Amino acid sequence: MARESLSYTRELAKNAHEGMLSFLLQRLTGLGLVAYLILHIFSLSSALGGEQKFRDSLSMYNSPLFHVLEWALLAAVVFHMFNGLRIVAVDWFGATRYQRMLFWVAIAASAVVVLGSIPFFFMWR
């Protein structure tokens, strides 16, 4: 696995283009989100032990550290979503010609949502 990740970075350095960057970011965010999904269901399962346990476990997440992690999670979800829509557009709607431009559209759209969410995650709570 370590050698593989090294070959990914080497590939990216040698052959830097949007397709490689898109592939790498989609894979990394995807793996992160799988790990998160499992943890998410596991942590919510405290609710099966009663409403009070659910409240206690939720209040634990109401801290500055978890707010930052939540925001990082948003970034991973939003990029994976916009870049995934680009993949569907290429596979199903014949957008292959525009795939390079669409990658930057996905990056820009992600940046707008993630930066625009700063007040929600850090200022208004």
Task: State in angstroms the smallest separation of the CB of 58 from another protein.
Answer: 4
DSSP states along 1-47:
-HHHHHHHHHHHHHT--HHHHHHHHHHHHHHHHHHHHHHHHHHHGGG
- In the bound complex, what is the minimum distance in angstroms from residue 13's beta carbon to another protein? 20
Q: Which x/- pattern, by CB under 8 A, does the window 38-77 give for another protein?
A: x--xx-xx-xx--x--xx--xx-xx-------x---x--x
Closest CB 14 distance from another protein, rounded Å = 19
DSSP-assigned letter for residue 125: -
Given the rule CB under 8 A, which residues bind another protein? 4, 27, 30-31, 33-34, 37-38, 41-42, 44-45, 47-48, 51, 54-55, 58-59, 61-62, 70, 74, 77, 81, 84-85, 87-88, 91-92, 117, 120-121, 124-125
